[in-house]
């Protein structure tokens, strides 16, 4: 690995590929000299009860800043569920009034959950990734050309374009020998997400840990965030590298009792597989699973039974999930895939 300065950052360039004429890539990285030391994961969640998304964003960012303490911030992943571009813009502006804009990545979701509870409308959740033991390289691919294509009429085109987008995204990520986890947030509603993951795997390999979720697909709400800017028909990937390990699990269900049971099973499996001291958990969950619950809190309670109630938990409700696909009838040799009705857990341990 090349030696790098404490705060290394770059803005990349646009590239063109034949499959999608205007496919473009942007990059940003935050890395440490040797990515040695602690990894710090902190999560905050704020519900806007005053119809003031900017204030909610600012409040969340200030809370995160306090919680990160002295740990150098490498990236912030945002999950927000405000309605319409106008309010989303205000929220992001509020977040970026406190946090460095170039570190803010993420997407519009259907809500979030943490150890504090579950939210849906008018809420924002921030995951702060920091510490000297972690480096982050982030890339954005735009103009994937698939957001308005329907599976029934354009499956082959979707496959080709998302394979290309996935490859470009993975190729653009800064690679090190300490790469541990790729987090993807994309406008690639399940089942399209499988093709994006396959494209990334063509570069990263089938056994590289990839997790993530797909942005809210409600009309007019579909945005991914990169360096504090809103993008449509796009995907963002963060490559986390450093002195830590990850353990992934995925479970699928679409009925109340099974949603609750699989949440517990998946969380327990990821925690059991984790080597070292667990630092935090990412849970990319399906909004459809949530809709099958009689009470949203029941699924979270099941996760907490397995994870405990102290481990930082960043959860969001998505339109498609990325991680180990739970499909015994169509098993894959790839560690991760894209699907729906899943909760995808990643335990980060050191």
Partner 1 sequence: MKSRRADPFSFAVARAIEVTLLVPWFDFRDALLPCWALPGCSRSRGASDRVLDRVAHDGEPPRLRDTVDQGATLAVLALGMALLGAWPLSAAEPVALRFESFCVTPAHLPSAVVVVANHGQGPYQGVLQVKAPEGWLLSPDRQEVALGPGETRRVAFAVKRGLTREENSYLLEASITGGGTTVTRAQQVAAASAPYFKPEIDGKIDDWGDAIPVTWISGGKKTVVSTYWNRRQFSLLVAVEEDRLLPRGAAPATGCDAVQVAISPEGAATGRSADDEATRFEFLFVATGEGTGGKCFLLAEPGMKLGEGQKLRPLGPLAYDDAQVAVSRSGGMSYYECAIPFKLLGNRIRPSEGREFRLSVLVHDPDGTGIRDWGEAAGLDSSQRNRLAWSLWPGAQWGDQPPLDNKTTWGLCSSKY
Residue ranges that bind partner 1, judged by CB under 8 A: 83, 110, 120-121, 147-153, 189-191, 216-221, 254-255, 287-292, 319, 327-330, 339-341
Handedness of CA 197, 204, 102, 114 (dihedral sign): positive
For helices 151-172 and 193-204, the axis angle rounded to 10 degrees is 30
Cis amide bond preceding 338, omega within 30: no
CA-CA distance, 71 to 40, in Å (whole number)?
Answer: 7
Nearer to partner 1, 65 or 218 (CB): 218
* Sheet bearing 123-130, strands edge to edge: 40-47, 123-130, 73-80, 104-108, 224-226, 229-231
CB of 33 to partner 1, least distance (A): 43
CB 60 within 8 A of CB 44: yes
Handedness of CA 194, 253, 43, 48 (dihedral sign): positive
CB of 141 to partner 1, least distance (A): 18
The token duo for 66 is: 């306090």
Nearer to partner 1, 149 or 203 (CB): 149
CA-CA distance, 71 to 74, in Å (whole number)?
Answer: 9
CB of 323 to partner 1, least distance (A): 16
CB of 203 to partner 1, least distance (A): 26
CB of 145 to partner 1, least distance (A): 13
Nearer to partner 1, 306 or 319 (CB): 319
Nearer to partner 1, 227 or 285 (CB): 285
CB 202 within 8 A of CB 96: no
CB of 269 to partner 1, least distance (A): 20
Nearer to partner 1, 30 or 194 (CB): 194
Nearer to partner 1, 37 or 191 (CB): 191
């Amino acid at each position: 690995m090349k030696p790098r300065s404490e705060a290394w950052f770059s803005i990349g360039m646009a590239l063109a590929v034949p499959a999608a004429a205007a496919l473009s890539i942007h990059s940003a990285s935050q890395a440490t000299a040797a990515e040695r030391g602690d990894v710090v994961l902190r999560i905050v969640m704020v519900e806007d009860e005053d119809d003031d998304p900017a204030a909610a964003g600012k409040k969340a960012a200030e809370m995160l800043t306090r919680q990160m303490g002295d740990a150098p911030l490498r990236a912030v992943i945002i999950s927000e569920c405000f309605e319409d571009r106008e309010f989303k813009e205000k929220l992001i502006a509020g977040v970026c009034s406190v946090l460095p804009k170039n570190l803010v990545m993420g997407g519009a979701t259907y809500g979030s959950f943490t150890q504090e509870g579950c939210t849906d409308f008018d809420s924002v959740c921030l995951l702060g990734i920091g510490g000297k033991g972690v480096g982050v390289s982030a890339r954005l691919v735009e103009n994937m050309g698939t957001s308005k294509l329907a599976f029934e009429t354009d499956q082959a085109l979707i496959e080709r374009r998302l394979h290309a987008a996935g490859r470009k995204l993975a190729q653009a990520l800064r690679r090190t020998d300490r790469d541990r986890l790729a987090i993807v947030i994309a406008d690639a509603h399940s089942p399209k997400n499988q093709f994006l993951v396959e494209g990334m795997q063509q570069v990263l390999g089938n056994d590289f840990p990839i997790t993530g979720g797909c942005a809210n697909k409600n009309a007019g709400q579909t945005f991914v965030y990169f360096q504090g800017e809103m993008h449509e028909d796009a995907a963002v990937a963060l490559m986390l590298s450093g002195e830590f390990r990850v353990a992934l699990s995925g479970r699928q269900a679409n009925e109340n009792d099974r949603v609750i049971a699989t949440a517990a099973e998946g969380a327990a499996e990821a925690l059991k597989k984790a080597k070292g001291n667990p630092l935090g958990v990412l849970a990319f969950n399906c909004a459809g699973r949530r809709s099958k619950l009689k009470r949203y809190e029941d699924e979270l309670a099941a996760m907490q039974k397995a994870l405990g109630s102290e481990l930082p938990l960043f959860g969001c409700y998505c339109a498609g999930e990325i991680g180990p696909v739970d499909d015994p009838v169509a098993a894959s040799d790839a560690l991760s895939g894209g699907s729906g009705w899943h909760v995808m857990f990643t335990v980060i341990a050191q």
